[in-house]
Amino acid sequence: MVIYWSATGNTAKVAKSIIQTLAQKDINPVFKKIGEASNEELHNYDLVFMGTPSYQFLPPEPVQHFVKRKMKLHRERGDIKPVAPHIEGKNATIFCTYSSPHTGIREATPKDEYLGQFF
């Protein structure tokens, strides 16, 4: 699955590039904007790509809202376990874009670590 949030179109371009690359390998993932993925069960996918821009070292508010809702669901279902064990066969990749001047690669680090904790 490839999910993304994009305000200016930069993140959408990267997400589409991922889709095209996967299609060359005969892989046809589900492709959705964050707002369209609220009912998706992310654990049903072996690999999830999530893309967002970095806004002041964090994901944009719509992405934070998405993650908080998903975390609440997983907490209520009892999916979240102590010491966050890795789920065998399940992987995620987080990608980051910028559309304005930024402070460098470390600007994305807090955002990516924030989202990484979700996965």
DSSP letter assigned to residue 82: T
Cβ–Cβ < 8 Å for 32, 1:
yes
- At residue 102 the predicted structure's pLDDT band, cuts being 50, 70 and 90, is low
DSSP notation for 12-69: HHHHHHHHHHHHHTT----EEEGGG-TT--GGG-SEEEEEEE-BTTB--HHHHHHHHH
pLDDT in tens, 25-82: 999 899 999 999 999 988 889 999 999 988 877 889 999 999 999 888 888 888 777 7
* Residue 41: domain span: 2-118
CATH number, domain containing residue 100? 3.40.50.360
pLDDT 10s digits, 2-11: 999 999 899 9
pLDDT of residue 99: 66
Given a cut of 90, whether residue 89 has pLDDT beyond it is no
The phi, psi pair for 65, rounded to 5°, reads -60, -45
CA distance 16 to 49: 11
Domain count, the chain: 1
Q: pLDDT value at position 18?
A: 96
